[in-house]
Amino acid sequence: MLRICRALCSRAGAPSRDWQPLSFDGSAFHHKTTAELARAFLVLRLCAWPPVVTHGLALQSWSQRLLGSRVSRALLRASMYGQFVAGETTEEVRDCVQKLQGLGLRPLLAVPIEEEPDSAAKTGESWYEDNLRAMLRCVEMSRGLVETPGPTGNSIMQLRMTALTSIRLCKELTSWMRKAGSSSELSPEKLAEAMDSGQSLQISFLNAEQNRHLQASLSRLHRMAQKAHAQHVQLLVDAEYTFINPALSLLVAALAARWNRPKEGGPLVWNTYQAYLQDTHERLRREAEAARRAGLAFGVKLVRGAYMEKERMVARLQGTEDPTQPDYEATNRSYSQCLELMMNQVSLHGPMCHLMVASHNEESVHQATRRHTGV
């Protein structure tokens, strides 16, 4: 992933004498052992095999019953888990981070907790409170693991909203937002005020239990932002499914109204934009302009997206228009257009606008670096 802010902007001029052209020649694999490379190749092949992708959880459950938890866990750690997870302990994560830093890479820690759309509804607030405690520990770890912070002096970590608030509430908020359009009851400013003051909100279209859960969710988000601000850790909020994304963006906007003010030195809270959705370029343009008018710093993590099959299935079942781009090439064009838009914003607004090019695509990264270096 490439991060672009004031230190990396399209008006940066000619590259310095120390600048080295970006290369995908495989040098990043030099710190890997032969066994690690073999594991990576095996995992890549397994993840490209449809039966494993479709029945992964069932296979894991079958493995535990047949082999026992200890053997099954050992196999998982030696394969999928070992490939994708930095570690279970601070020491394991620190060792992984040090290897990455040796290649000039910085970590973006993530707590792998979220509420799945089809899972049973959680009762009470204890599950979300446990998740908050895990995320607060991740904030401390994010700051403690990085010896040299990024260009803004901050560390970064991922924030998954559905670990702190329920999908059911997000669906309810999204449904109301789409019906009612702009509602003063759900303005980011009102939610930000409730976060700051701790005063109880009474949203008319929510029942008493939903209002209590909204209040508890706002409290968790506020405590998360307070901790991140104190530790100088920026929060990159993940996008999820279109049937809850408007509610997630509302909560991001509420956090931004409180924490992305100019005096804070850049965006503390970033949102994620999925280029495989048809409306992303226009939404990105509109929200960048809204942040500029409000005098708020604007942080963008730009991705292609990961839920295409689920989005298309939901659209078919509901008889609604497919929100995704028609094919891979259209998604690439969308990503390129969004990238150009944000590079221009970074160039024009400097420290008030930050961009992370979160892509595995070589051409997208080359496009960004060409704009940065002017070559």
Q: Are 189 and 251 in contact (CB under 8 A)?
A: no
What's residue 9's pLDDT? Answer: 37
CA separation (Å) from 288 to 270, 284, 305, 310, 369?
12, 6, 20, 28, 21
CA 299/CA 150 separation, integer angstroms: 14
Domains along the chain with CATH numbers: 31-84 (no CATH), 89-115+123-369 (3.20.20.220)
Instruction: Give 328-333's long-range contacts (Cβ < 8 A, gap of 24+).
Output: 331/275, 331/276, 331/304, 331/305, 332/361, 332/363, 332/364
What's residue 11's pLDDT? Answer: 34
What would you measure as the largest C-alpha separation in the chain, in angstroms? Answer: 63
What's residue 7's pLDDT? Answer: 40
- Burial profile 2-30: b = 16 or more Cβ within 10 angstroms, e = fewer: bbbbbebbbebeeeeeeeeeeeeeeeeee
277 forms bridges with which residues in the sheet? 324
User: Of 247, 267, 250, which Cα lies nearest the Cα of 189?
Assistant: 250
Cβ-based neighbours of 206, under 8 Å, separated by 6 or more: 169, 172, 214
Q: What end-to-end distance do the CA atoms of the chain give, in Å?
A: 20
Please give the distance of CA 262 from its chain centroid, rounded to a whole number.
Answer: 22
Those residues of the chain that have pLDDT short of 50 are 6-18, 151
Q: Are 152 and 5 in contact (CB under 8 A)?
A: yes
What's residue 257's pLDDT? Answer: 95
What's residue 145's pLDDT? Answer: 79
Q: Are 90 and 141 in contact (CB under 8 A)?
A: yes
What's residue 6's pLDDT? Answer: 44
State pLDDT tens for residues 220-270: 999 999 999 999 999 999 999 999 999 999 999 999 999 999 887 789 999
- Phi–psi pair at 258, nearest 5 degrees: -95, -40
What's residue 229's pLDDT? Answer: 94
Cβ-based neighbours of 197, under 8 Å, separated by 6 or more: none
Q: Are 110 and 158 in contact (CB under 8 A)?
A: yes
CA 272/CA 304 separation, integer angstroms: 10
User: Of 156, 341, 175, which Cα lies nearest the Cα of 231?
Assistant: 156
| Residue in the structure block whose two tokens are 């082999």 | 67
